[in-house]
Structures are given as C-alpha cells and as structure tokens.
Structure 1
Amino acid sequence: MADRRLLTGLALLALVAGYALLVPWVAGVDDRVTDFAAARQAPSWAHLFGTDSAGRDLFVRTAAGLRISLLIAVVCAVLSVLIGALVGALSAAAGGWVDRVTMRVVDAVNAVPHLLLGIVLVALFRGSLVAIIASIALTHWTQVARIVRAEVLSLRDREHVDAALLGGAGRWRVVRRHLLPAAAPQALVAAVLLLPHAVWHESTLSFLGLGLPPHAASLGTLLQEARSSLLLGGWWTLVFPALGLVLATLAVAAVGSALRDRTALPERAGARL
C-alpha cells in the first residue's frame, strides 16, 4: 500500500514539476508582459487557462508561479531541517540542563502562531524573498528538532555508540559520525512533509499582500490577483492557480506519507521481534 502511494505521489509530483519547469521554457513567453487588449479571456485553445486582468496567459503564469512557490518551499524545508536536526541532535547529546532549556525554547517557539510570526517578519522587509524564506524556516524547524532529538535519544545508549565513546571518540564526533547519520532518514521524511506547509505558508503571505511583489508570479500572488477578476466572472483566474496549489500539495503529501510509513516498517518489525 505504501509502495503504491509512493509511486502515485512520485508520478503526480513529476507531472507537477514538469509542468512548472518546462512550460515557461517551452512557451518562450515572458509572463510579466501585459496585453490589456487580451484581458480576462476565458479558457480557449489560444489560452488554455485563459488570461488574467492584465492579459497575461495563465497557463504560463501558473506554471511560473508554481515553480517559484516550489523553489521557496524546497529552500525553506532544507533550512528548517538543518536547523532542527542540529538543535535536536545537540540537545539530546548534551542532555541535562542543556536539553531542558533547549526544549523549553522549542515549546516557546511552538506557542507563537507561525503565521502571525511570519507576518511580523515579512512586514519588516516587504517583498523580500530572503525575508519570506526566513519567516518560514524560522517557524518550522521545531518539529524536526523534536523528531531528531527523539531518534538520537533512542540511539544514544546503543552498543556501537558506547564502543565509540570507550574507544576515545569525543561526544561531538559521535554525534557527527554515528547519531546524525542514523537520524537522517527521519529528517528526510520531515523535510518532505514540510514542503506542503511551506507552499501554503508562502501562498498565504503573498495572498495577504505581504509576500512577493505583484509582478512576481507565485501561487499566492496569482490567488490574490484573482479576487478582483472573480467578481467580474473570471472564475478561471482562481480555479487554475488553486488547482496547481492543491495538486502540488497532494503530490508531496502522498510521497511524504509513503516515505514515513516505509521508514517506520523496520521499527515495527523490530518491535515484534
């Protein structure tokens, strides 16, 4: 079942990624160029997804927006996992008061609504791509830290770790050479599962007008622009960007869920033994 879900998710993800990467390149059209004479045209063979209020082809613009949103999500997921894995591993390896203080910091970050904190950070540097990435990465590392910490705690008393310590290896060398590699599969799954959250977080910020500038295509800016067109009957300006957002989320979520189940299978088998 997990294999079937993984293959389905990978196929859908490949389709979404291929659309996002290839369509803007094959079309050879600058999605920022306006043509008000072609504004708000319904879907047709000339414009498969119709055009927006500025006459831009939504088939190309949705692909460009999906590409930017996925790129931001990947960067944010990688940064979140790096921060969370480092914090979780060091906390578990140090133990004692260091571990307790670190976990209280994690609880404090979790207590603050992520979207609210992201809005505050982005509002200080409106339109900055770095600010958007930082706002997402700095609010989504805590779950990774807890996952990695739990994994390192379960491995810390294993025989090969004790042997390395008795052999003269330092604590941080053991963390780097033994504990972090063992926790890497869980961190990878966490990174994949973070991607949908990052996509929706970026889209929400852009929809609220705090993300990328209006001329830069992302799923959030497309949905934000669709509000005015929707009142004039331009349903396609909302449907197709929203469909891209939903399909990307479903694809990544299916892959992440299948990977999580696959990594859990050895643990379940070991528990039965």
Structure 2
Amino acid sequence: MVELDSHDATARGHRPWRSAARVRAGTARGTGGAARARLRLGAAVSVLVLLALAALLVPALSSAPGTVDYQAVRLPPGPGHPFGTDTSGRDLFVRSLAGLRVSLLVAVVSTVVSTVLGTAVGAVSGSLGGWADRLLMRVVDAVNAVPHLLLGIVIVALYQGTVLAVVLSIGLTHWATVARVVRSEVLGLRNRPYVDAAVSSGAGRWWVLRKHLLPAIVPQAALSAVLLVPHAVFHETALSFLGLGLPPHLASIGNILSDGREGVLLGAWWIVAFPAALLVATTLSVSGIAAVWRDRAVPTRRSELAL
C-alpha cells in the first residue's frame, strides 16, 4: 500500500525534489532582486550626491560664473569650456550647474509646500470622515482635474513671474496627490487596535491624530515627497522655458534651455544638450531612489496590514 501511494504521488507530479528546487530558485531570485535593488540605489545616490556637490561647489568656486564674453560666443565643448559656451559667451559648464542648483532649490521648497499641505488635508480628511471627508476629497478631485501646468501658469500670472510665484504654482498644484495618499493611509490606520484603545480610553480625535496617526504616516508622506521632486523640477523647467517662470537674470535649467533655442538653430547643439542631460540625470537619480524606497515599503506595508 505504501508503494502504491508513493507511485500515485509520483504519477501526479508531487516530487519533493522539484518543490525544493523551486524554493531554492525563488530564494535565488529574491537574493538577486535585492542585490539589484541595492545596486540601483547605490548608483542613484552616487549620481545625485555628485550632481548636488557639483551644483553647490563649482559655481561658488568659479571666479565669474555669469561673465559675458562676446569674443567666445557659441564655442564648442573643449578643454577650456567642457560644455562649450552659450550665445553670450558664458561658460556653459558653470552656468548649467548654477542653474541646476536653482532648479533643485525651487523644486525642494515647492515639494515641501505640497507635502505639508497635502499631509494636513489628507490626515484631517481621513480622520474626520463623513461629510468633511467627502467635501475635502471633492476639492482634491477638482485640483487633480485641472492640468497642473495650466493651473501653474494661472498662478504665475497672478504673481508676475517671481520666485514665490513659481514655488506656489508648483506647491499648490501637486498637493492633492499627497493628500489622497495620506488619506488612504489614515483610513487604514484608524481601525488599528492601539487607536481603538486610545479612543476607548477617552482620547479626543485630534489627540489621536497628533499622537498616533501623524507619526505613522510620516514614512509614506516622505516617500510621496521624494516622488514629487522630479515633477517639480520638470514643472519649473517648463514654466521657465515658456518664459513664465523664474526671472530671466536668474539662471535655472529652464531659463538656460530657453536662451539656447536660438543657438540650436545656429548649430550650437551643446547649449541645450548638456543642461538637458543634467536635468535628466538628476530626475532619473531621484526617481531611482524613490522607486527602490517604494518597492521596499510595499511588502512592509502589506505585512503590517496583515497583522
């Protein structure tokens, strides 16, 4: 009988060594995936740190980053000018890094505005529930329904193209995404045992929100902020490229690309190519960090919800 059962199990395909092989293969894939994730994270962090240090130090150490030299107009990349010069004879290497510094600063400040506003709205909406939640979510839907760039142009026009206008145009058009994510987190946390215990002991709604819910949503809000940085950089670049962003005298990637349009028509491709490459490298590195962070957070979040 034992031999017959063993034969039947083998016939049905239940082979223990195959199951063990699958387990080993799955473990190997998991280990390889973790190694690749660490490699991607290390590469992204290295590129971002290198670009940030260059953007901070190179313009500061340069004697005259914005010096105009009409004897050196549209020089191609060479030993004296690694990125060449622009239509005014300015060194494009130094100016591009100075522009990257400005664009990153504007993007980070705008992201902070979006994250703070979105976290506040999402936390209050998820905590209150009822008609207040429905009302706030309709506001979020209305903001998301309008194209961000179009709404940003309207805000910039109201403030006459100042730095504050650009920060507000980005911060006030991207907060709704953060609000929806934070609200979802709060809704998942409201029914946790420790929250129920706090409510049962007589704790007020705002005390629970401040002491229990807000600390728990900080990681997700921070991840949303990192994911917003590339959008903010491209938003500032688009506004400045259209002539609606930062003042023309203030170097940013968008202003440099806008100034370089004429040079490209004259064959000076480097005026646009190198600043655009810095922009792409920066946004890809930030997106890579956010992607690895998100992939690591998803399994953790699932395991927490299973408790």
Fold conserved (TM > 0.5)? yes
Say whether residues 1:67 and 2:101 are aligned partners.
Answer: yes
Could you list the runs of 5+ residues in structure 2 that have no partner in the other structure? 1-35
Q: What secondary structure sits across from 1:24 in the alignment?
A: helix
Say whether the 8 Å CA contact 1:29–1:60 is kept in structure 2. no
Tell me, in whole angstroms, the C-alpha distance in 1 between the residues paired with 2:39 and 2:302: 20
Aligned residue among 114, 119, 143 for 1:80: 114
Report the alpha carbon displacement of residue 266 of structure 1 after superposing the two structures with TM.
1.1
Indicate the RMSD between aligned Cα atoms, in angstroms.
1.3
Correspondence 1:30-109 to 2 at 5 A: 30-31=65-66, 33-109=67-143
Report the alpha carbon displacement of residue 103 of structure 1 after superposing the two structures with TM.
0.5
Say whether the 8 Å CA contact 1:73–1:198 is kept in structure 2. yes
1:116 is aligned to 150
Could you list the runs of 5+ residues in structure 1 that have no partner in the other structure? none
1:5 is aligned to 40
Q: What secondary structure sits across from 2:65 in the alignment?
A: coil
Q: What secondary structure sits across from 1:141 in the alignment?
A: helix
Q: What secondary structure sits across from 1:53 in the alignment?
A: coil
Say whether residues 1:158 and 2:195 are aligned partners.
Answer: no
1:24 is aligned to 59
Say whether the 8 Å CA contact 1:126–1:211 is kept in structure 2. no
Report the alpha carbon displacement of residue 108 of structure 1 after superposing the two structures with TM.
0.6
Say whether the 8 Å CA contact 2:118–2:175 is kept in structure 1. yes
Q: What secondary structure sits across from 2:173 in the alignment?
A: coil
Q: What secondary structure sits across from 1:83 in the alignment?
A: helix
Report the alpha carbon displacement of residue 271 of structure 1 after superposing the two structures with TM.
6.0
**Could you report, residue by residue, the CA deviation over 1:2-57 in whole angstroms, capped at 9, with x for unpaired residues?**
332222211111111111111111223232x3111111111111111111111110
Higher relative contact order structure (alpha carbons within 8 Å, sequence separation ≥ 6):
1
Report the alpha carbon displacement of residue 127 of structure 1 after superposing the two structures with TM.
2.9
Correspondence 1:245-260 to 2 at 5 A: 245-260=279-294
The 10-residue stretch of structure 1 (117-126 or 1-10) with the greater mean CA deviation from structure 2: 1-10
Aligned residue among 266, 274, 289 for 1:240: 274
Tell me, in whole angstroms, the C-alpha distance in 2 between the residues paired with 1:53 and 1:61: 12
2:50 is aligned to 15
Q: Percent identity?
A: 56
Across the two proteins, how many residue pairs are aligned to each other?
272
Report the alpha carbon displacement of residue 86 of structure 1 after superposing the two structures with TM.
0.4
Report the alpha carbon displacement of residue 272 of structure 1 after superposing the two structures with TM.
7.0
Q: What secondary structure sits across from 1:138 in the alignment?
A: helix
Correspondence 1:121-270 to 2 at 5 A: 121-270=155-304
Say whether the 8 Å CA contact 1:62–1:219 is kept in structure 2. yes
Tell me, in whole angstroms, the C-alpha distance in 2 between the residues paired with 1:112 and 1:159: 39
Runs of 4+ in 1 over 3 A off after TM superposition: 268-273
Say whether the 8 Å CA contact 2:65–2:91 is kept in structure 1. no
Tell me, in whole angstroms, the C-alpha distance in 2 between the residues paired with 1:121 and 1:235: 33
The 10-residue stretch of structure 1 (21-30 or 89-98) with the greater mean CA deviation from structure 2: 21-30
Report the alpha carbon displacement of residue 218 of structure 1 after superposing the two structures with TM.
0.3
Say whether the 8 Å CA contact 2:76–2:268 is kept in structure 1. yes
Q: 1:150 to 1:116 in 2, by over 3 A?
A: same
**Could you report, residue by residue, the CA deviation over 1:132-163 in whole angstroms, capped at 9, with x for unpaired residues?**
00000000001100110000000001111111
TM-score (norm 1): 0.96
Counterpart residue identity of residue 300, structure 2: P
Say whether the 8 Å CA contact 2:68–2:88 is kept in structure 1. yes
